[in-house]
């Protein structure tokens, strides 16, 4: 297995650059009475989209320019369950930027207390799904956070 | 980060014990025209549930006995996209069984060709979410595949 | 077919009592490039939950008191598609309150322009799914909006 | 409200032309311990897709020819809940075919017992979402079931 994931998601909110709040939905609960583990991936995605908007590069604009950020890898560590109607703070940090891929680390907390950590690895593809170079602003926006 | 995941998902279908077929849904596609990456987690779950049924321990029975298999970690490596209306073969293999956790490795193929690999780590919790020992049949059913 | 739905969802935002804003997610798009029609139901539900909180009866409290608002019927009229990253105003209005059921009408707009209308019909059930009388505050909170 | 829905979904399986079986997923349950009401829409869609394949017009082919079947309206009547790991028989019947729209009625049963009924109304749109005439095979395949 050639895992590209190299980021280590810190458990300290202060280590992250950005935070986005999401209130959990009843539709996302399961018969265990907690938020189903698959629902976390759209939470991470919503936080990414908010982060791109914050950086001045709304994902809608990125897509209109013919670029898509494909998800190459995802890993999530579920520490404590999320419940219905909780407000989750999704902390986000970029890193490991190369010509072809970048990574994002996430910390999910509720009232500051750890619930989950995650990492996603992304590449850039054109409209037909072919891998292309990352747009230059990625390196600039995430500058100083490049992998060695 | 204390990652518990230790399984390495093989790319060879022959290395897996069980296979379950799932046809992708249109509801699972996204605006890139492919299956959204979050949809893979319910695919893995459906394959797990089919595997438990195959082992003679339907998950409904497990839950009625007061046990739940909580998802502690998930990782997915997306190799090639899945499209709408494709029949995905989800190959599944158990391993790394301890007193408290077990792991499952997955290979997703379409017509035998690699699409994704994944690993999930599970613990056992009671109805109130407290960690409990795995039922004994887990070790027996997955015998010979225990971690050293 | 014994349809209980009797509310007519108005197309005028001014006819509604409450509005809740939801930004659409990329995970909710489909291969047509628009928000998948099934994603609207969690939008309606999120607006209901926000409305209950606004009324001083958070749904978490309702559930802790042993009551659940089961969905008996749903109907949605899709007028114009929703796109990725749009902010949807979900307007909500209660009506047709009886001893056993109540109804909610919805108008979905973006920048004030019509996108969809919907109606949901709800009953109250206990923890085992048995129908029970609506809590008295429902009639009071939605007072003057009862069915004749 | 200009509701186009005119079909009445019968409660008799024998009144339907086609049946498609779907096993419910754990990811589709909610904290009430039953299948969440929003999950029914992808069930109806999966049954539609299976029906189109049965008619010799797989939806992938329809889409490749530049046509999409947009959902204009949906209504669902939830009679008795669905539980985890139940095998649902989705019975399907077409009707009310006009130049621009067609309707489908659905009966959902488990072991032959009523769980839900539903109706969907569909139009045909091109790749940019503009309404176009239905392909001629729709009228032929659903012949004798046209609206007066």
CB contacts under 8 A, D 89-128 vs B, are none
CA distance D148 to D144: 10
CB B49 within 8 A of CB B59: yes
- Residue D145: its pLDDT value, please? 47
Quick: pLDDT tens for D16-58.
Answer: 999 999 999 999 999 999 999 999 999 999 999 999 999 999 9
Shortest CA distance from C77: residue in chain D: D73
The answer, for D46 touching chain C at a CB cutoff of 8 Å, is no
Query: Based on the number of CB atoms within 10 Å of its own CB, is A70 exposed (0-12), middle (13-18) or buried (19 or more)?
Result: middle
Residues in chain D predicted with pLDDT less than 50, given as ranges, are 1, 145-148
Residues of A in contact with B70 (CB under 8 A): 32, 78
Residue B69, domain member (yes or no): yes
pLDDT of residue C25: 98
Chains A, B: CB contacts under 8 A, how many?
67
Work out the minimum CA distance from A141 to partner chain B, whole angstroms: 24
CATH at residue D52: 3.10.129.10
Of A1, A71, A77, the CB nearest to B1: A77
Let me know if residue A135 belongs to a domain. yes
- Digit-by-digit pLDDT tens for chain A (148 residues) are 456 899 999 999 999 999 999 999 999 999 999 999 999 999 999 999 999 999 999 999 999 999 999 999 999 999 999 999 999 999 999 999 988 999 999 999 999 999 999 999 999 999 888 999 999 999 888 755 444 4
Q: Does residue B50 have a pLDDT over 80?
A: yes
Determine the Cα–Cα distance for residues A80 and A91; give it in Å rounded to an integer.
Answer: 16
- pLDDT value of position A3: 65
CB contact under 8 A, A72 and B70: no
In a domain, C59, yes or no: yes
Q: Which residues of D touch B60 (CB under 8 A)?
A: 84-85
pLDDT in tens, C92-108: 999 999 989 999 999 99
Written as six digits, the tokens of D98 are 């006009």
Q: Which residues of D fall within a CB distance of 8 Å from A38?
A: 27
Give the pLDDT confidence of C45-78 residue by residue, as tens digits: 999 999 999 999 999 999 999 999 999 999 999 9
Q: Is residue C124 part of a domain?
A: yes
| Lookup result for tokens 């936080």 | A47
Cβ burial, residue D144 (10 Å; 0-12/13-18/19+): exposed
pLDDT band at B70 (very low <50, low <70, confident <90, very high): very high
Query: What is d(CA C59, CA A24) in angstroms, rounded to the nearest whole number?
Result: 13
pLDDT over 70 for what percent of chain C? 94
Closest CB from C45, C59, C84 relative to A27: C45
- A74 Cβ under 8 Å from any chain B Cβ: yes
Task: Determine what percent of chain C is predicted with pLDDT higher than 90.
Answer: 85
Q: How far is A105 from chain B (nearest CA, A)?
A: 12
Q: Note whether residue B5 is domain-resident.
A: no
Please give the residue of chain A at the shortest CA–CA distance from C83.
Answer: A60
For the record, the structure tokens of A17 come out as 């650059």
Q: Complex ipTM, two decimals?
A: 0.94
pLDDT at D3: 65
pLDDT at A1: 45
Structural domains of chain D, count = 1
Cβ of D12 under 8 Å from any chain A Cβ?
no
Q: The pTM is what?
A: 0.96
In a domain, B68, yes or no: yes
Contact C138, C51 (CB under 8 A): no
Residue C2 within a domain: no
Closest CA to A40 of B4, C118, B37: B37
How does DSSP classify residue D82?
-
Cα C96 to Cα A81: distance, rounded to the nearest angstrom: 38
**pLDDT tops 80 at residue B115:** yes
Domain range for residue B24?
Answer: 13-141
- Nearest CB to D75 within list C42, C70, C74: C74
| C136-C141-C143-C147 Cα dihedral, nearest 10 degrees | -70
The answer on pLDDT for B145 being more than 90 is: no
Query: Using a CB-CB distance cutoff of 8 angstroms, which residues of chain A are in contact with residue C41?
Result: 27
Domain membership of residue D7 (yes or no) is no
């Amino acid at each position: 297995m050639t895992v590209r994931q190299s980021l280590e998601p810190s458990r300290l909110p202060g280590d992250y650059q950005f935070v986005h709040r999401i209130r959990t939905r009843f539709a996302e609960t399961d018969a265990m009475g907690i938020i189903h583990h698959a629902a976390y991936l759209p939470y991470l995605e919503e936080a990414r989209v908010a982060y791109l908007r914050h950086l001045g590069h709304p994902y809608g604009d990125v897509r209109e320019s013919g670029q898509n950020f494909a998800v190459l890898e995802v890993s999530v560590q579920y520490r404590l369950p999320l419940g219905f109607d909780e407000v989750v703070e999704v902390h986000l940090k970029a890193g490991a930027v190369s010509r072809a891929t970048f990574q994002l680390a996430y910390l999910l907390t509720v009232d500051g207390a750890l619930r989950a950590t995650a990492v996603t690895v992304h590449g850039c593809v054109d409209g037909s799904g072919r891998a292309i170079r990352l747009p230059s602003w990625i390196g600039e926006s995430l500058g100083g956070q490049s992998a060695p």
